[in-house]
Amino acid sequence: MLGSFFNIDGGYLEGLCRGFKCGILKQADYLNLVQCETLEDLKLHLQGTDYGNFLANEPSPLAVSVIDDKLREKLVIEFQHMRNHAVEPLSTFLDFITYSYMIDNIILLITGTLHQRPISELIPKCHPLGSFEQMEAIHVAATPAELYNAVLVDTPLAPFFVDCISEQDLDEMNIEIIRNTLYKAYLEAFFAFCKDLGGTTAESMCEILAFEADRRAIIITINSFGTELTKDDRVKLYPKVGKLYPDGLAALARADDYEQVKAVAEYYAVS
């Protein structure tokens, strides 16, 4: 009976996932790709895999950038197809995956605005997995403050902005602080969501998110050396999840050089 109820909401998507898994390139495919001498050879070989004719309409000579764009387009189409057929809690889980791309897109837009570049030039450079309906509305933002208001009010990232960023933060010095502040809130929320779901999702995703949180904490620490970022400010950017939380983060906060960071990493190393 439980399996029947699962199939109502998840049967189709599970079938899709199994199909995608079977379509992943095998070792033999990679060995053949290594033998390709031109991009046309690569295109020909991929036609015999589950990638099919995704380059069929592209004229010769092929460029690496074209292949990259088409691969990304294929990924986005398949992801959005799954998202459109998903119900809770899977739909929220898939939304969380897109939020990291949204953060990067928003930072790109903010940076471009600070350099007086038209938003219309920046939109095509954004990752399509981080697109959202309100992105088109950001075209009218002519200043950082206007962009801030658009992001805060009208995008799915609004909960991550609340109580952590103000319009005064929108200057060149604080761009990376904004990015890390958003990622901190995002990782903590995603971790809590997965933990509440429990089961296999919690076992797998909490491990992945913990690694990402630890990685970001280490990078933040290293990048802060020789800057105006104080140790107290550094602590505020650390995600409060991961293997390093809380004692490891406290040790990173006290670090003054690479060797001290290395010592913390080695102490928490996974054998």
Are residues 74 and 130 both part of a single domain? no
> Residue 178 pLDDT > 80, yes or no?
yes
pTM for this one?
Answer: 0.88
Are residues 109 and 15 both part of a single domain? no
Lowest mean pLDDT among 44-48, 85-89, 153-157: 153-157
Higher pLDDT, residue 115 or 202? 202
> Residue 48 pLDDT > 80, yes or no?
yes
Taking residue 150's Cβ as centre, other Cβ atoms within 10 Å add up to: 20
Q: Examine the fold and report which residue of 33, 53, 87 is the final residue of a domain before the chain moves on.
A: 87
**Per-residue model confidence as pLDDT tens digits over 193-238:** 999 999 999 999 999 999 999 999 999 999 999 888 889 989 999 9
* Residue 61 per-residue DSSP state: S
Are residues 109 and 80 both part of a single domain? no
- Show the domain range for 170: 92-267
Q: Buried b / exposed e across 29-61, counting CB within 10 Å, b at 16+?
A: beebeeeeeebeebbebbeeeebeebbeebeee
**Per-residue model confidence as pLDDT tens digits over 27-40:** 999 999 999 999 99
Q: Examine the fold and report which residue of 87, 106, 128 is the final residue of a domain before the chain moves on.
A: 87
Q: Number of structural domains, the chain?
A: 2
**Per-residue model confidence as pLDDT tens digits over 4-28:** 677 777 889 999 999 999 999 999 9
Are residues 120 and 31 both part of a single domain? no
